[in-house]
Every structure is written in structure tokens, then in C-alpha cells.
Structure 1
Amino acid sequence: MNTIDEKLQPILAEVTRRNAGEPEFHQAVHEVLESLGRVVAKHPQYLDLALIERICEPERQIIFRIPWVDDKGRVQINRGFRVQFNSALGPYKGGMRFHPSVNVGIIKFLGFEQTFKNALTGMPIGGGKGGSDFDPKGKSDGEIMRFCQSLMTELHRHLGEQTDVPAGDIGVGGREIGYMFGQYKRLNNRYEAGVFTGKALAYGGSRARTEATGYGNTYFVQAMLATKKTAFEGKRVVVSGSGNVAIYTIEKVQSFGGKVISCSDSSGHVVDEAGIDLGLLKEIKDVRRERISEYARRRGAGVHFIPADKGSVWDVPCQVAMPSATQNELSGKDARALVKNGVMAVGEGANMPCTPEAVKVFQEAGVLFAPGKAANAGGVATSALEMQQNASRDSWTFEQTEARLATIMRNIHDTCHQTAEEYGAPGDYVLGANIAGFVRVAEAMRMLGVI
């Protein structure tokens, strides 16, 4: 594991001081700065121009009140956020997250990661992120619509096809995007299809966007396995989560011949040695919106549900692990269990799901490790393809879009792999992703002047 170069330590100290009480943001900045010592040794001008300090400071942070009326006629108040982190490469681009845990520190960490992730795609998009501490669970469609309309009444003035383009994230799917886009259109009296991505096909969405993050992570891990002359074929795979990213990770892994034998939600995990029945999982989570325990009940004999307080999905022996739920879900203890049980590759489908200790355990054990800013970039890459289709008033087939996604993910893998070798750390995808993403953003900022 890298340590932070002494020239960069004052930068981290200042970031920590100026952003007190934001541990996730501190963690994200620390992880990137660990990789940059080799860069500043080779390119000292990045220090002279304060480029790193500027990259660590968002261009704009928007925090606002969201009042809305529930089904009982009571006024509820939530807090909304949009952090427009960096626009050196293009308009801000990043999802909206609706979850009680959302605060400005989490949105900043996500926006910071998004900046480098978007740079790695090679597409002309900057980095941003947004959301609210609103919890959509247990809310009616009417309540969710009124909340989304109230949020957009404030946020619409900060968005635009050439300014800031949100998408979905945890708690924000096609329903929520539809309500937000509808209110945006109403307030602006313009049909700017490219101002939101992740839209339904009926009003400008892209085929393969729903599948893109899970598919993209699987393409990346497949390319990573190929460097060791192996593949998913015949391997036991564990995927955490059971939402959009997890479901389509499972689907693509199965298409590559892997056997996914466990997935989870916040209540616990299921173990299905015959392989996860994807049709049943989609029905339970996408259609019925039930807990993962219902999968075990309906699947029948031989399938076990283990509550969260009785064990972890990472206790299940596997050769490939795909954490696809949320940040810091996989601890050092979990990583040691996976290594003990023979894991050979880990691909982050979620944003920063592995703690720093877990990453260190994997790297010291020689496990192939794909960081989220590279491995889960398929979602935002396909969002950029959706923007491209909207701009040209075009609509591509699923096959066209997936072919582009596969090419982009292989290119991201190769860029990270080659950059790690160039900077003297072959096989270190964390270092490769951080340096490649940073250099692309830093070079654009250098050319644009001190702004």
C-alpha cells in the first residue's frame, strides 16, 4: 500500500481542516493522494500551479430546503444537495441519491470520485453528485412525486444540458427521474432531453443504461482476469446488494459462465448453491420490492437466508467478489475472510465499498482489485452515450449501446493497467486509475488557466 508523499501531506491536512466532520470525503482524497507521489515527482508543475488543491475543492456546493406534503396532509422537510465538483472536461455529470444517510460529506466524496471516474471514460463530462436525506422506502407514488417536484423547483436553476446533467443512484430509479424531469420541463418550458440521463425509453432514454453499471463492472473484471489467463467460466461469485447494480452484475456474470451463489440486502444475505435464479430475484426486488429473505422462502429447499446479525455475505467462499451495495460495506475482517476462502479477484460495483484496510488486505495478498472509479464507470459512460443520442435526436439498439459500453470498459481497464506499469506499479489498478484520471483532469485545468 502506498503512503502519502511528504509534498502532498500539507494538502491532505488542509482538506481535512477545511472539511471537518466529513470522513468519507477525507477517505476519498487520502486514497487518491496516496497515488500521486509518483506523478508530482515526474510533473512538479502540478504542485506549482496548485492543481491538486483546486481539484480537491468543489467548484460549487448547493444546499437547500425541500418542503413537501405527505398523504396525511402534513408538511415534511428534507435537505437537498448538489455538489458541482469539476467541469474541466465538460458539464458536471453524476447521479442523485435519496437515502437517510446522505449529507454534504458523502455527496462530496461521491462527486470527487465521479470526477476521476468520468475522466477515465474518455467522454467529455465533468464530475458532480447530488441527493437528499429523503427515504423513498414506504412512501406512496404521490408522496415521491411531490417530493421530487419540490426538489426540482429549487434545483432546476442550476441544471442544463451544457451545465449539469444528473442521473440516478441509490433510491433514485426511473420513477424518480421521470418526476424530476417532468418538473424541470414544466419550469423551464423547454424539452431538454439531455439534462437528465437514466430516463425511460419512452422519453429519450438509452437502451442498456439500466444494465450498464453491473455489465460494465463485469466487463472490467473479465479483462482483469484475462491478464492472468483465466475468466469467469466455472467460478463461484458473490455479489453484495440486490438492487440495480447487483442484479445486472449477476446477469452478466452468468452469461460469462460464472455461478453467482450469494447476494444480499440490508436485512441479510441468501446462499443458493445452485446459482441465483435471476428471474425470481428480479420479481422480488424490482416488481414486488420485498426483502431478500423472500427469495429464500420462494426458492425452497437448499437455499438459506442468513440475517445480517448472524453473518456476512463475505463469509461465503468464492473466487470472485463483486461488492455492489454501498460505501465501506466490506471491512478488513471481511477481506481477510475472502482471502482465506480463496478469492482471486474483487470488482467494486458500488462507490468505495471497500474500506482502506480491506484494499490493503487484498493488495498484500495479491488479489486482483478493481477500484470503483474504474470498474463501475459503465453507468456514467452509458449516460454520456444517452446524452449523445439526445443531442443527435437518435436512438441506438441495445446491441449498439452494449458494444460501445464493452469497448469503453476494456479501454478503461487497459488505461489503468498500462498507467500502473508506466509508473512502476504493475498490477496496481488503484494507482493506475487514480493517476490516469487525475492526469486527464489536471491537464485540462492547466490549459484553462487559474479558474
Structure 2
Amino acid sequence: MSTQDYVTKMLDEVKEKYGYQPEYIQAVEEFLTTVTPFLEKNPIYCEKNILGQLIIPERLIEFRVPWMSDSGEWMVNTGYRIQYNSALGPYKGGLRFHPSVNQSIMKFLAFEQIFKNSLTSLPIGGGKGGSDFDPKGKSDGEIMRFCQSFMQELQKHIGPSMDVPAGDMGVGGREIGYLYGEYKRLNGYQAGVLTGKPLTFWGSLARTEATGYGLVYFVKYLLQDKGDALKDKRVMVSGSGNVAIYAIEKAQELGATVLGCSDSSGYIIDEDGVDCELVKEIKEVKRGRLSDYIAAKPNAKYVENASIWTENIAYEVALPCATQNEIGLDEAAILIKNGVKVLAEGANMPTKLEALHQLTDSGVIYCPGKAANAGGVAVSALEMAQNAQRLPWTFEQVDSELDSIMKNIYETCATTAKEYAKEDDLLTGANIAGFERVAKAMLAQGLV
């Protein structure tokens, strides 16, 4: 069987078996369609069917999460933990609380996490988890009771050297605190079992900023490689959560003008540059909506119930930081018309596969999330190191390590792209570089 026939067979089997899981199929297809050149040069991985082993999670845990509302109503949600691949270390990946969460989304996120974690060069495997619970509109008491119930089951499957969850969409410092408290009550104080913890109990400085900062560092090194810089660039950001906010902050620090950001209700455009501190106050302190931005900045524009990627305005850098599949063919056409030169993903898989090809065919440099947004999990691994040492690092030390890691990830992706595909094909570079390290470890560890 030829290498291409082997890869096609793997994809056909996944589609036949899991055709009802579209996000998972999308992630696997995006990966498989890029790794053929590496497999052709290294046929041992086909002979030993490493792809067949890699595609199936080592463990998929699904469980019931019962909890009580403030009014005394008995509620129930579904919880998940996908422990996908531990060839490089303990499972590592966030927990997502959002009504869209299902098995397909959990599997796609965990699959992507394998290669993202591999690219950091840190000793962490890939996993992901979460629940279809929606924190929006819930009281602190309801969120606490849900987190405690969720952890009562999850704690059976995690540990500092086994599986180390972190936060993701809908899971910030508040939720991590409640989850950690319940774990501690059941298992005693083990600082390294969760990352993204508040600073008061062994969280890491710069973890909050890490994904957004890391995203901008990745773009910084890409532009630097082209003899360019972020200074005076016009940037558009989707989302207004943790990743988006700190991407805005770092882009502005490096001299860019960020024109807009968004939430699930609409988006703002502020051609003077988004007021990052105001967005922080609205979203992180008041937990409000971006429509409130206009009250303080009447010269800005707010567009309700629309995607920021439909806005017709000139800019060079797009940073999608909201959610999966937010950019389709229509949005990609507008990005191209607006003059976008670089699209770097702060969210996981925000660009649909057909839109990705449309962008790259038009000369846009595409930076996949598994590389560009790896800063968050990188600093989570640094948090694990600090917890193991029982020593806190300074903000500057962590930020310096983050910058260095993102530089290495960019250079690894760029070098691998040139070897196996073409210059600036960073998707192929990221997939092959991430896969190579995992595949070598799987082969060395045998059929397990």
C-alpha cells in the first residue's frame, strides 16, 4: 500500500466511524492531508500503523454532573475528559464550560492539543475536557456547586503526574479555584494538579496573559523573518475574552493599532485603537457586553448580531480569538479584500478548512492555532515546573520563557515547512513538526 493510500484509508475509516462528529473529522482531515510528505520519507510509521494508534484516544471519559440551582431545582449536565495521547508526558489541556460542548468538540480539541503540546518541546501529552454547562447568567453559588460536582468525578482520573487540566472557554480563575478546592478536599493539597490557578495558591504570573501574548509573539517572529514588524500595522481581533484581551494589549505594546474586537452579541470598531483597559473593565470586572463600550467611547461603532469578519475596513493582521469555525468562505473573501496578509489563530480551529485554502491560495500567511496559540499551555507547563519546585518565578522570567518558546515554535514550523512543503506553509510545518516528536515517542514505547 502506498503512503497516500494508507493516509486515505485512515481518513476514510475515521469518516465512516465518526461521520456524526464534524469538528473531530475536520481536525483529523486537516492533519492527515498535510503529513504525507513526512510519512513518505519515514515509511516505518506507516508500517507500524502509528496513525491508526494516534487517531484513537487512549481514554474517553464521559460522566453525569448533577447540581442544584439557587432555587432548589435539580439540574444535570454532561462532563467529559479526553485523555488522548501520553507519549510525551501527562495529559495536559483545558476544561471548557459552554453549551456547545459535546463529544465531537472535545475530541477535536484534544486531538489538536497533542501537536500543540508537542511543539512547545515541554514534557506534556494531549488531553481536553469540559461540560455543556453554561456559566453565563449563573450565580457564584451555582457555579461553585457545579464545579464541586464536576470535580467529584474528574478527580478519579487526574493527578500531577497523570493528567493536569487547566482553563479554557468559560473556565477562568473563579472556576479553577472552585475545582481546585474540591480536589483538595478529596485528595489533599497537590498544587500541580490544575494550572491557571489564582496567584494566591501557586498560580503562575503571566499565565493569564500567556495565550494572547504568545499569539502576538508568534506573529512578531513571523514578521521579523520577513524583515517587517508589528509597528504601525492595523490589526483586527475577534473575541473579547482572556485570549483576545491580552492579544490586543501586546499588539498595542508593539506599536500596532487594534481596530476592533467582538463578543457573542456583536462587535466594536474603534479606528483610534481599541481601549484595552475599558474592554477589560467591561468583560473581566463587570462581566458585561461590548455594547457598553460605546457609552464611554461615543466615536466608536457597535454592530449588533454580526461577525467582525464581515466588516469592510483595511487591515493587515487578523487574529481570530473567539471560537471554532468563525471564518468561512464568505468571511475569508472579505479578509482578502480588506488586505489581510497574516491570519494567526488565537482560538482553536476558528478557520474552516475550505476558508483556510482560500486564504492561503490568495497569499495570506496562515498561522494555525496549534502553533500560534500554544503560549497558554506552554506557561501552564511552566506553572507545573514552579509547583514541582515549590518556587514562584517572576513575571519577567515567565514572559521571557514564553517569548523564547514562541520563537522556537515559529522557527520549527517555518523550517519544517521549507523541508516538506513550501515556504510559509506553516500548517504543514506545524503538523509535521508536532507529529514527528509524538510519533518517535510512540514507536520507541512500543504497541501500548
Shorter chain as normaliser: what TM range?
A: over 0.9
Q: 1:314 to 1:443 in 2, by over 3 A?
A: farther
Q: Does 1:371 align with 2:368?
A: yes
Shift of 1:309: 4.0
Alignment of 1:29-428 (within 5 A): 29-188=28-187, 190-300=188-298, 302-309=299-306, 312=309, 314-428=311-425
State the AA in 1 paired with 2:369.
G
Deviates more, 1:312-321 or 1:258-267: 312-321
Task: Report if aligned partners of 2:88, 2:124 keep a CA contact under 8 Å in 1.
Answer: yes
- Cα deviation, 1:96-153, whole Å, max 9, x if unaligned, reads 0000000011000000000000000000000000000000000000000000000001
Shift of 1:200: 0.5
Deviates more, 1:33-42 or 1:79-88: 33-42
* Equivalent-residue separation in structure 1 for 2:352 and 2:409 (angstroms): 23
* Equivalent-residue separation in structure 1 for 2:386 and 2:373 (angstroms): 21
* Equivalent-residue separation in structure 2 for 1:313 and 1:209 (angstroms): 32
Tell me the secondary structure at the aligned position of residue 5 of structure 1.
helix
Could you say which residue in structure 1 is the equivalent of 2:5?
Answer: 6
* Equivalent-residue separation in structure 1 for 2:31 and 2:307 (angstroms): 35
* Equivalent-residue separation in structure 2 for 1:448 and 1:21 (angstroms): 32
* Equivalent-residue separation in structure 2 for 1:185 and 1:317 (angstroms): 51
State the AA in 2 paired with 1:42.
K
Shift of 1:166: 0.2
Tell me the secondary structure at the aligned position of residue 155 of structure 2.
helix
Q: 1:230 to 1:178 in 2, by over 3 A?
A: same
Tell me the secondary structure at the aligned position of residue 419 of structure 1.
helix
- Cα deviation, 1:377-417, whole Å, max 9, x if unaligned, reads 00000000000000000100000000000000000000000
* Equivalent-residue separation in structure 2 for 1:406 and 1:310 (angstroms): 31
Deviates more, 1:314-323 or 1:332-341: 314-323
Shift of 1:297: 2.4
* Equivalent-residue separation in structure 1 for 2:196 and 2:306 (angstroms): 34
Task: Report if aligned partners of 2:309, 2:335 keep a CA contact under 8 Å in 1.
Answer: no
Task: Report if aligned partners of 2:96, 2:168 keep a CA contact under 8 Å in 1.
Answer: yes
Tell me the secondary structure at the aligned position of residue 408 of structure 1.
helix
Task: Report if aligned partners of 2:309, 2:334 keep a CA contact under 8 Å in 1.
Answer: no
Report percent identity of matched pairs: 55
Shift of 1:19: 2.0
Task: Report if aligned partners of 2:320, 2:346 keep a CA contact under 8 Å in 1.
Answer: yes
State the AA in 1 paired with 2:27.
A
Task: Report if aligned partners of 1:335, 1:362 keep a CA contact under 8 Å in 2.
Answer: yes
* Equivalent-residue separation in structure 1 for 2:65 and 2:429 (angstroms): 40
- Cα deviation, 1:218-244, whole Å, max 9, x if unaligned, reads 000111112221111101100000000
* Equivalent-residue separation in structure 2 for 1:193 and 1:5 (angstroms): 46
Structure 1 stretches lacking a partner, 5+ long = none
Q: 1:310 to 1:101 in 2, by over 3 A?
A: closer
Shift of 1:5: 3.0
Deviates more, 1:309-318 or 1:344-353: 309-318
* Equivalent-residue separation in structure 2 for 1:314 and 1:31 (angstroms): 27
Question: How does the TM-score come out when normalised to structure 1?
Answer: 0.97
* Equivalent-residue separation in structure 1 for 2:345 and 2:31 (angstroms): 16
Tell me the secondary structure at the aligned position of residue 350 of structure 1.
coil
State the AA in 2 paired with 1:178.
G
Tell me the secondary structure at the aligned position of residue 219 of structure 1.
helix
Task: Report if aligned partners of 1:238, 1:313 keep a CA contact under 8 Å in 2.
Answer: no
- Cα deviation, 1:161-200, whole Å, max 9, x if unaligned, reads 0100000000000000000010001011x21110000000
State the AA in 1 paired with 2:70.
D
Could you say which residue in structure 2 is the equivalent of 1:439?
Answer: 436
Task: Report if aligned partners of 2:261, 2:308 keep a CA contact under 8 Å in 1.
Answer: no
State the AA in 1 paired with 2:82.
V
Shift of 1:18: 2.3
Task: Report if aligned partners of 1:238, 1:316 keep a CA contact under 8 Å in 2.
Answer: no
Tell me the secondary structure at the aligned position of residue 4 of structure 2.
coil
Task: Report if aligned partners of 1:211, 1:245 keep a CA contact under 8 Å in 2.
Answer: yes
State the AA in 2 paired with 1:221.
V
Shift of 1:310: 8.1
* Equivalent-residue separation in structure 1 for 2:355 and 2:335 (angstroms): 10
Task: Report if aligned partners of 1:161, 1:195 keep a CA contact under 8 Å in 2.
Answer: yes
State the AA in 2 paired with 1:366.
G
- RMSD over aligned Cα, in angstroms? 1.1
State the AA in 1 paired with 2:347.
A
Task: Report if aligned partners of 2:252, 2:258 keep a CA contact under 8 Å in 1.
Answer: yes
- Structure 1 segments, 4+ long, off by >6 Å, are none
* Equivalent-residue separation in structure 1 for 2:362 and 2:40 (angstroms): 28
Q: 1:311 to 1:235 in 2, by over 3 A?
A: closer
Number of residues paired by the alignment? 446
Shift of 1:340: 1.0
Task: Report if aligned partners of 1:268, 1:312 keep a CA contact under 8 Å in 2.
Answer: no
* Equivalent-residue separation in structure 2 for 1:314 and 1:109 (angstroms): 29
Task: Report if aligned partners of 1:232, 1:256 keep a CA contact under 8 Å in 2.
Answer: yes
